[in-house]
Amino acid sequence: MENISGFEISTNKISPRIIDIKIKDETIEKLIFPFKKFDLTAIEYKPFTRFTIAKSLDDLSENRLGVVMNRIIRDRNLGCFIIGPENKNANVDDIFLVKLSTAISHLIGVPNHDSMAGKYYARFHVKHEDKSDSYLRKAYTNMDLHTDGTYVKEITDWLLMTKIEEKM
């Protein structure tokens, strides 16, 4: 695995096709200021701000994180990475995680626009019991990663999913 200062990159213990990327605490601390410059509304409506926070993340990796993530998702022997903060703390809230996910997705490429959500991302709650027709909202259904259920008009090459909160 490639070494990037501020990140811990390793092969997943369950599958060699999955790469685990942990963002070290000191890197999270360095992201707080640039992420707080923009509120979520600005990020949602101004595409340039999304690339600005992506650059903040990439700069902390000496412009290597985007390259590594793109290499992983394009490698048929890999194809998946799990990325997240090394530790959860008070600064890592739901808004921070939406911004982090935005930065990560914009280092990979330009996300599709989700027609149902009306944004470049969709956000929903998974519940213990759910009567919707979407398997994504059902807590005990295997989550298959496929693109035939997305609400986009463009071809979808990859998906980024973020777990923002977990209870029990």
Per-residue pLDDT tens for 7-45? 999 999 999 999 999 999 999 999 999 999 999 999 988
Does pTM top 0.75 for this prediction?
yes
Which residues touch 20 (CB under 8 Å, ≥6 apart)? 8, 9, 10, 11, 12, 81, 82, 83
Instruction: Report the distance separating Cα 82 and Cα 18, nearest Å.
Output: 7
Q: What percent of the chain has pLDDT over 70?
A: 67
Instruction: Report the distance separating Cα 33 and Cα 148, nearest Å.
Output: 37
